[in-house]
Amino acid sequence: MLLDKQARTLEVIARHVEALYAAQGNLSYAVRNIGLFENDGSLKSRLDNAFSINQSNLGLMLDFAQRIKRDPSLDPPNAPSIASVALTPAPDSIVPPAVVVTLFEHDNYLGGRVDLTASTPNLNTYGFNDTVSSFKVAGAPGEYTVEFFEGYDFYNPFLKVQSPFDCPQIPVTRWMDLPVGGFGRGVGFRRTPIRYNDALSSVRITKNY
């Protein structure tokens, strides 16, 4: 009997924990996409505050579960109050922005990947600076123009394409006359292919229509 009670009590706790995790998921979605919502300037701190209230209730529930395992006669805890933040527009009604560019760590769309929905002046934002070896551009024909740059803040362009475009391997995009034997040696120049593999640092996306 006691073990039945314990099992039922743990089930109640599991439901509370699940509800808290769902609320935390919604709050972190809002934090990550804060630009999508009306914001009087206090939104971030209200979201953070609700998140930490739920976090501490989660801690209480998990503690309670431990205590019930030790003492099966304990009554279940009251349902925790779940902190949330009213958002405008409602998160369900938001259509997420389209992914325009997908960047890949290795050739042939392998390894880590990053989806871009807008221009990105610094790929460090995604831990993806000087990493890209292949990419894909989505969209209807001519819908997007996408420019790739070797430097941050759209400095030193090396490739410009129209959607849609698949690039399994960043190509040789220019030839440069590089000094043979190193700079300043004065021993002549050699035409050298420059492939911007692992060099991409910023991406500009322009929507044409």
Q: How far is the CB of 177 from Ca ion (least distance, A)?
A: 21
Q: How far is the CB of 113 from Ca ion (least distance, A)?
A: 11
Find tokens 């590089």 and name the residue.
Answer: 178
Size of the site for Ca ion (CB under 5 A): 7
Fill in the DSSP letter of residue 121.
S
Q: Which stretch binds Ca ion (CB under 5 A): 68-76, 92-100, 166-174, 196-204?
A: 196-204
Separation of alpha carbons 159 and 109, rounded Å: 18
Separation of alpha carbons 185 and 190, rounded Å: 13
The reply on whether position 57 binds Ca ion by CB under 5 A is no
Find tokens 């229509």 and name the residue.
Answer: 209
From 30, 199, 203, 205, residue interacting with Ca ion (rule: CB under 5 A) = 199
> Which parts of 105-144 interact with Ca ion (CB under 5 A)?
105, 130, 133
3-state DSSP assignment of residue 92: helix
From 79, 198, 206, 208, residue interacting with Ca ion (rule: CB under 5 A) = 198
Q: How far is the CB of 196 from Ca ion (least distance, A)?
A: 8
Q: How far is the CB of 122 from Ca ion (least distance, A)?
A: 10
From 9, 57, 201, 202, residue interacting with Ca ion (rule: CB under 5 A) = 201
Measuring CA to CA, which residue among 84, 91, 78 is closest to residue 33?
91
For 201, what's the count of Cα atoms within 13 Å in the CB-facing half-sphere?
9
> Which parts of 7-46 interact with Ca ion (CB under 5 A)?
none
Is 34:43 a contact under the CB 8 Å cutoff? yes
3-state DSSP assignment of residue 84: coil
Return the number of the residue (21 or 155) whose C-beta is nearest Ca ion.
Answer: 155
Interaction site with Ca ion (CB under 5 A): 105, 130, 133, 150, 198-199, 201
